[in-house]
Amino acid sequence: MYNVWENVLAEIEQKVSPANFSTWFKDTTLLSASDDHVIIGVKNSFFVKQLRSKFLDLITDALKKNGIEFTTIDFEVSSTSKPKVRSREVTTTDSSLGDRIKPLKKSLDTKSISNGLNSKYTLDSFVIGSNNDLAVSAAKSIIDTPGTRYNPFFLYGGPGLGKTHLVQAIGNELLRRDPSLKILYTPISHFYSDFIDAIQNGKGKEFNRKFEKLDCLIIDDFQFIVGKEKSQEEFFNIFNDLYQLNKQIIVTSDRLPSQIKTVDERLASRLTMGGAFDLQLPKFEDKCAILRAKAELMGADIEPEAIEYIAENVNTNIRDLEGEFSTILLMSEVRGLTPLELIQNGSASISRSNKLRPISGKQVVEKVAKYYNLPVKEMCGKSRVANIKTARQVAMFILSKELSMSTTKIATEVGVKDHTTVMHGIKKIESDLKLNFSLRDQIEEIKEHIYG
């Protein structure tokens, strides 16, 4: 399946610097393309101005090259920076686009499309820190001697922590060293949609053959295999074939295979026999290092204090960290203030804390108790029963991470005697989160209740 906007972006990516591409285009979407009118979704109003003044011709050109003819073009601020929420998946079969879109060439004559690799992901631009050093050293070993020690290479961790970047970087580096290698990167969702297509068109054998010839197969977001039994079976076969030939297999997922429902036990254990490596949340120093590297890459001038402010205030993941960083740089350019000045005059508050301001500690406690089906009184009481205690600790954790509340204040909110109990509770959740994926999901859901 070829998404038109992806092709347009691929075209643009070749014409602008990686820094410009990631700043201006990464979060754009095609909201609609009909009646000679194209609407592009952007993250905020700063983008509208910049895209119009700097890149209009480029965008127009790239759209036309991809068969989208139009007379007017508009930019619209999407309600969220996460494009999937509002964008429509525009594909060549999208009927509302009518015949305005000519059939796309299957390949845009770039390697980056046919093998799924995107050259912007390099090992050089991947900052090594305490959150990823083991995974990176395994990655380097794979690059030196693919198909040997870490095979398969299983990389897992929450969203936005660098899984795609790291495995793409391995693919790119392998190819740089030996351009004759046959490498394929594919998200598991593409794997199964292609597989279904092949079966429906009676081309199951060809599908299989495409994989047989590979030297390295990279499968991203394996967790989405849930409920796709036939595809799982096919993947298992391909996996075994490649493995026997000592071909390198790389798989990412947000959790361990054993924690993905409906994954065959034998497959689960095979996937981790080369070791399972995780990417963790970056610590403060890691976040600063990533931002400094990004600033250097973009040639952006940003004060160390501003970097520290962003690092301190974004506690979700690296994707969000980059998002806030870009927004502050943009605002600083538009307003003619330095990033630090912007922060000091209060115009650059990080979006999550913005959203949270109207929410009190009491409301958080209520939401957590409700989520666990407990009366607030009971959750904030003295009970040592495991599930009640966990709920209490989750409340402590959320109050600390999301409201940046002091441990003394949290103690009062959740009805415990002193702040050391709170510190212990938060630490407990932090360490449980590393491997307890159900807990991760629970906390995400609670946050959705809180913000929603």
Name the residues that contact Mg ion, by CB under 5 A.
Answer: 163-164
Q: Which is nearer to Mg ion, 163 or 287 (CB)?
A: 163
Of the candidate residues 83, 162, 171, 274, the single one contacting ligand ADP (CB under 6 A): 162
Burial class (CB in 10 A: 0-12, 13-18, 19+), 47: buried
To the nearest whole angstrom, how small is the minimum distance from the Cβ of residue 42 to Mg ion? Answer: 22
Q: Is 142 in the site for ligand ADP (CB under 6 A)?
A: no
Q: Is 381 helix (H, G, I), strand (E, B) or coil?
A: coil
Nearer to ligand ADP, 248 or 316 (CB): 316
Q: Which is nearer to Mg ion, 23 or 164 (CB)?
A: 164
Q: Count how many Cα atoms sit within 13 Å of the Cα of residue 197 in the half-sphere of its side chain.
A: 9
Q: How far is the CB of 113 from Mg ion (least distance, A)?
A: 18
Nearer to Mg ion, 112 or 164 (CB): 164
Instruction: Pick what 195 binds: Mg ion, ligand ADP, none; C-beta below 5 to 8 Å, kind-dependent.
Output: none
Q: Is residue 253 close enough to count as binding ligand ADP by CB under 6 A? A: no
140 is a contact residue toward ligand ADP (CB under 6 A): no
Nearer to Mg ion, 146 or 158 (CB): 158
126 binds, among ligand ADP, Mg ion, none (CB under 5 to 8 A by kind): ligand ADP
- For residues 101 and 92, the answer to whether their CB atoms sit within 8 Å is yes
Q: Which of 9, 127, 329, 374 binds ligand ADP (CB under 6 A)?
A: 127
Q: Does 165 bind ligand ADP (CB under 6 A)?
A: yes
Contact partner, 165, from Mg ion, ligand ADP, none, Cβ < 5-8 Å per class: ligand ADP
The encoded tokens of residue 100 equal: 């305005």
How many Å apart are CA 332 and CA 449, to the nearest integer? Answer: 33
77 DSSP assignment? E
Question: What's the closest the beta carbon of residue 165 comes to ligand ADP, in angstroms?
Answer: 3
168 vs 378: CA distance, rounded Å:
48
Nearer to ligand ADP, 83 or 425 (CB): 83
CB of 132 to ligand ADP, least distance (A): 6
**Residues 350/310, Cβ–Cβ less than 8 Å:** yes
Helix or strand holding residue 40 (H, E): strand 37-42
The answer to whether 159 contacts ligand ADP (rule: CB under 6 A) is: yes
For the segment 348-387, give every residue that binds ligand ADP (CB under 6 A).
Answer: none
Cα–Cα nearest to 325, from 336, 335, 342? 342
Give the count of beta carbons closer than 10 Å to the beta carbon of residue 223: 18
Residue closer to Mg ion (CB basis): 81 or 164? 164
Stretch that binds ligand ADP, among 32-40, 314-322, 329-337, 338-346 (CB under 6 A): 314-322
Residue 164 in the binding site for ligand ADP (CB under 6 A): yes
User: Per-residue DSSP letters for 161-209?
Assistant: SSHHHHHHHHHHHHHHH-TT--EEEEEHHHHHHHHHHHHHTT-HHHHHH
Q: Does 171 participate in binding ligand ADP (rule CB under 6 A)?
A: no
Taking phi over 0 as left and psi of -120 to 50 as alpha, with beta for the rest, 162 belongs to: left
Please identify, using beta-carbon distances, which residue of 42 and 127 lies nearer to ligand ADP.
Answer: 127
DSSP string, 317-359: -HHHHHHHHHHHHHHHHHHT--HHHHHHTT----HHHHHHTT-
Instruction: Work out how close the CB of 406 gets to ligand ADP at its nearest, in angstroms, rounded to a whole number.
Output: 30
Q: Does 322 interact with ligand ADP (rule: CB under 6 A)?
A: yes
Give the range of 111-119, 126-134, 171-179, 231-239 binding ligand ADP by CB under 6 A: 126-134
Of 75 and 277, the one with the shorter C-beta distance to Mg ion is 277
Tell whether residue 323 is a contact of ligand ADP (CB under 6 A): no
- Closer residue to ligand ADP, CB minimum distance, 115 or 132: 132
CA 291 to chain centroid, in Å, comes to: 17
Cβ neighbors of 80 (< 8 A, separation 6 or more) are 86
Cα angle vertex 396, ends 391, 402, to 5°?
A: 115
Return the residue nearest ligand ADP (CB atom): 162
Instruction: Give, in degrees to the nearest 5, the angle at Cα 301 between 160 and 310.
Output: 40
- Binding site residues, ligand ADP, CB under 6 A: 125-127, 132, 159-165, 290, 318-319, 322
